Structure 1
Amino acid sequence: MKKVEFSPSLMTMDLDKFKEQITFLNNHAGSYHIDIMDGHYVPNITLSPWFISEVRKISNLPMSVHLMVTDPSYWVQQLVDMECEWICMHAEVLDGLAFRLIDQIHDAGLKAGVVLNPETPIETIFPYIESIDKITIMTVDPGFAGQRFIESTLNKIVALRELRAEKEYQYVIEMDGSSNRKSFKKIDAAGPDIYIVGRSGLFGLDDDIAKSWDIMKKDYEEMTGKAIPVN
């Protein structure tokens, strides 16, 4: 059975219980998903490099940063300096920047990811797909939690899996948006490697993070018939 990874979206965590939730998740999650929004690419302004440094104080899990920004080149070196394991940029703003920024990330010994909005075809990233370590498929519009799940986006996950097998590419495939009990079965059928879980799939299930994780685990296993691996 293919092992899947669950990456909690820290934008949706309860910041009043920051240390408690991170301490628990350190022993259960595979990585942390950290959204940085600039208020331009999307209307919201959320987490920052400072937030990453606070998580680093109490966690050794890999950090996967999702840049929802108009100018990724402004942010990449900051994240390189912080040694974020994954730096993921939106394909829609990479025209004229992709090769340089991917090389900048790789030269630092880190991994480069690209993110595709629901409307963006996978062909957009074909010029540099061989260089990418991770492809994130947005199953909702970017920038807000709790949006409607766009089922048609799952076709891109299937296509990327087939392309990876055919071309022997090395990227992992991640999905981002409304990953929860209602969608687990459909997502599992598409077959991503990493599930990003936010408020509807994890943090909003109970006030206690351990109980929330148990509910998420039960939901996933009941809907897919597969067990979440223990880290």
Structure 2
Amino acid sequence: MTKYSPSLMCMDLSKFKEQVEVLNRKADFYHVDIMDGHFVKNITLSPFFIQELKKISKLPIDAHLMVENPSDFVDMTINAGADYISLHAETINGEAFRLAHHIKDKGKKFGVVLNPETPIEAIRHYIHHVDKLTIMTVDPGFAGQKFVVEMIDKIKEAKDLKEKHGYKYLITIDGSCNKNTFQQLLEAGAEVLIVGSSGLFNLNDDVEKAWDLMLKDVNNEENHLLQS
């Protein structure tokens, strides 16, 4: 069954509590982007945001660390209440095993994120430690970018590897998850859809109505797959 992770950098922060209270009843995870202005040329949310979110939600929080030095942020996000710590493979060469063990020793889940240009082969030696594998289907750093269709093959590869070796990671998609891409993503093997501006929040000012519209789009594609 498809799971959903709203990207909270795309929400209406003036309606933070109102929207979270609605999403608490509907979502499976929350996706929190933390950017440092160096790894990507943008600055968004923070460990403090996770701390505030934790006060009004019990859903698992996935902290996506788009930062140049992830080891500087790992403990901050853990202490703030994040449940999944998702690190970019491009930033953890030389400390991947140490960070994976540290995160798991703290009772949290170890996530890895791959930029569009980064092959799954890059994490081959520690993929068995990964709890959540996030495949970027846009270049990282900004919402509303064009879908990178070449990533469909990477999603299929992630699914094949998981089935062949019995890996436990959740195949998660970040970037342009919306009605134009749901079918391709689900067919390829996506398990968790990170929904942001185009997939959720821009569908209606009322987030409950927006959710229902998004779910209708996904259900249409899931029914299509079952019938094919």
Q: Structure 1-normalised TM-score?
A: 0.95
Is structure 2 residue 108 aligned with structure 1 residue 117?
no
What CA distance in whole angstroms lies between the structure 1 residues aligned with 2:185 and 2:154?
A: 11
2:89 aligned partner: 91
- Out of 157, 170, 173, the position equivalent to 2:171 is 173
What CA distance in whole angstroms lies between the structure 1 residues aligned with 2:216 and 2:130?
A: 33
Unaligned runs of 5+ in 1: none
Amino acid at match of 2:77: L
Task: Tell me whether 163-172 or 10-19 shows the greater mean CA deviation.
Answer: 163-172
Classify the secondary structure of the residue corresponding to 1:102.
helix
Amino acid at match of 1:196: I
- Percent identity for Structure 1 against Structure 2: 52
Deviation at 1:222, TM superposition (A): 2.2
Does the 8 A contact of 1:83 with 1:110 survive in 2?
Answer: no
What CA distance in whole angstroms lies between the structure 2 residues aligned with 1:185 and 1:80?
A: 34
Amino acid at match of 1:212: A
What CA distance in whole angstroms lies between the structure 1 residues aligned with 2:5 and 2:173?
A: 10
- Out of 69, 72, 77, the position equivalent to 1:71 is 69
What CA distance in whole angstroms lies between the structure 1 residues aligned with 2:90 and 2:152?
A: 19
Amino acid at match of 2:18: E
Does the 8 A contact of 2:32 with 2:62 survive in 1?
Answer: yes
1:25 aligned partner: 23
Instruction: Name the CA shift for 1:107/1:215 in 2 (closer, same or farther; >3 Å).
Output: same
2:98 aligned partner: 100
What CA distance in whole angstroms lies between the structure 1 residues aligned with 2:224 and 2:54?
A: 31
Equivalent residues, number: 225
Does the 8 A contact of 1:137 with 1:176 survive in 2?
Answer: yes
Deviation at 1:72, TM superposition (A): 0.3
Does the 8 A contact of 2:54 with 2:81 survive in 1?
Answer: no
What CA distance in whole angstroms lies between the structure 1 residues aligned with 2:77 and 2:136?
A: 22
**Alignment deviations for residues 146-204 of structure 1 (CA, whole Å, 9 cap, x no partner):** 00001110211111111111111111110000000111111111111100000000001
What CA distance in whole angstroms lies between the structure 2 residues aligned with 1:216 and 1:6?
A: 10
What CA distance in whole angstroms lies between the structure 1 residues aligned with 2:165 and 2:219?
A: 32
Classify the secondary structure of the residue corresponding to 2:150.
helix
What CA distance in whole angstroms lies between the structure 1 residues aligned with 2:179 and 2:2?
A: 16
Does the 8 A contact of 2:50 with 2:81 survive in 1?
Answer: no
Deviation at 1:226, TM superposition (A): 6.5
Does the 8 A contact of 2:50 with 2:77 survive in 1?
Answer: no
Deviation at 1:82, TM superposition (A): 2.6
Classify the secondary structure of the residue corresponding to 1:182.
coil
Classify the secondary structure of the residue corresponding to 2:26.
coil
Q: Structure 2-normalised TM-score?
A: 0.96
Classify the secondary structure of the residue corresponding to 1:151.
coil
What CA distance in whole angstroms lies between the structure 2 residues aligned with 1:193 and 1:85?
A: 18
Is structure 2 residue 45 aligned with structure 1 residue 47?
yes
What CA distance in whole angstroms lies between the structure 1 residues aligned with 2:121 and 2:184?
A: 23
2:11 aligned partner: 13
- Out of 187, 190, 193, the position equivalent to 1:192 is 190
Deviation at 1:83, TM superposition (A): 3.5
Compute the RMSD of aligned alpha carbons: 1.2
